[in-house]
Amino acid sequence: MAGYVLIVAILVLSGIIATAGDRIGSKVGKARLSIFNLRPKKTATLITIVTGGVISASTLGVLLITSSQLRDGLFRLESIRADLADARAQQERIETELNDAKAQREEAQAELDIINRSLSASLVKQAETEKQLEDAQGQLLQTQEKLNQVLEQEQELIDEVASLLSEQEEILAESEQLKIESTQLQGEQAELEASLEQISNDRQALREKIDSAQNRLNEISTQRSDLAREVENLEYSRDRLSESIQALRRGSVAIQADQVLAAAVTFPELSRSELRQAITGLVQEANRNSIELLGFLPGQAPTEPVITVTETQLNNLLDRIGDGRSYVIRLLSAGNYVRQETSVAIVADVTPNQIIFNQGDVIASLNFEADLSFAEKEDRVSQLFSLANFRAKQEGIVYDPITGRVGVFSQKALNELLDEINDYDFPFTIQVVTKSPIFTGSPLAIELLVRRADGEVIRRFG
């Protein structure tokens, strides 16, 4: 309420002073008075300025007189700010101390809780201990009673021990006599044990001789069985060889031993059923080729296959090639067979199919001097083919068991080569080079490169 009264008083005072200043200014202006030698108009302006200053000064004076807060704000602001900063710092310090006190109180409360729990546990343990003490006292009384009984029994036992000691002296006397007799019996027992050990050793030696003789007898029996089978095989081979010799003399051998009747290459990752189907087809192809080679007249071909494969043989072959790799499978004749024979035995030759030579590999090479005759050049070309054939077989390419060759070379290209090099009067080299990648089961496809001594290729053949 005092603030509102103060504001009304200031407004009234300001109005009065303003009205007085205006009147004074008007009178000064009308009277054309001059102060400090100023013009009347400027004197009136000065009076107005002074009047405004008086209004401001009176307003400020009233405020300062009536409001101690304003006086403090104007004249003690810096001191108040410093006191406020000190108060805030003191407040923060007090809050920090308060927080520390709270933490200490919490720690103390936690320790107090621990102490209370320990005290509770101690009280429980004390109660248990007192109970155990009571039980122990009861057991002590029982033990004392038992001790008294034991003491009575001990006395009885002492009496019995005394009686037993007297009996022991008598037994000891008898024991000495028995020891003398036992010593005599031990000597006799040692002799009997030595005799028994000798008999046991003799029996063991005899048993070992019997076992050795039995093993030898089994070996002889096995050898006799093996020899009997070998004799049968030799007799069969002799008969077959005799028939083959006679057939060779007559010139009627249709299928030679180890002759390739059919061949195929299996692809990797084939299933067992797919491999079985492929082998069955290969056997059928060998059967057709065998019937054709055996030279049956029209209408005389056998109705049954000349090649038969048992289920066991087929499964054994599948086990050999069933590991997911590629193989070269060749069905070879197991012997010589004459024309119109109705049964042909075969053997399966299985070789892993892998790359042997890359395209452009040099398999063999021979140098030719300038002064060689045509016959010598022809002979060296033949040697070159032999070297290439030997190298290919050594590296693992399957070859024809009859001819021993791993491939064929065009006779026309060979004749062109011989005609070409017959005119050379300078040294040169002929290389056998693969035309394409060569695998285990693929034929050896080659071309011949004729090079000068400096390495320049003159011509290619094949």
**Amino acid 223: pLDDT:** 67
Percent of the chain at pLDDT exceeding 70: 79
Of all residues in the chain, what percent are helix, strand and coil, respectively (each to 5)?
Answer: 65, 10, 20
Q: Report the Cα 368 to chain-centroid distance in Å.
A: 58
Q: Is 249 a residue whose pLDDT tops 50?
A: no
More confident residue, 29 or 197: 197
- State both tokens at 256: 């030679």
**Three-class SS state of 296:** coil
For the CA atoms of the chain, what is the radius of gyration? 67
Q: Is 297 a residue whose pLDDT tops 70?
A: yes
Beta bridge partners of 436: none
CB distance 299 to 227 below 8 Å: no
- State both tokens at 350: 């299985």
Dump pLDDT digits (tens) for 132-166: 878 878 787 887 777 777 777 778 777 777 777 77
**Amino acid 413: pLDDT:** 87
| Cα gap 387→460, rounded to integer Å | 19
Beta bridge partners of 338: 253
State the average pLDDT over residues 393-418.
Answer: 85
Dump pLDDT digits (tens) for 41-67: 677 777 778 777 777 777 777 777 776
**Amino acid 448: pLDDT:** 92
Mean pLDDT for the chain overall:
79
Find the Cα–Cα–Cα–Cα dihedral 439, 443, 448, 453, rounded to 10°: 40
**Amino acid 250: pLDDT:** 47
Q: Is 340 a residue whose pLDDT tops 60?
A: yes
State the average pLDDT over residues 351-380.
Answer: 90
Quick one: which of 206, 209, 210 has its CA closest to 198?
A: 206
Q: Is 302 a residue whose pLDDT tops 70?
A: yes
Dump pLDDT digits (tens) for 206-247: 677 777 767 776 776 676 666 566 556 556 555 555 555 554
More confident residue, 108 or 1: 108
**Amino acid 343: pLDDT:** 86
Dump pLDDT digits (tens) for 114-126: 888 888 887 888 8
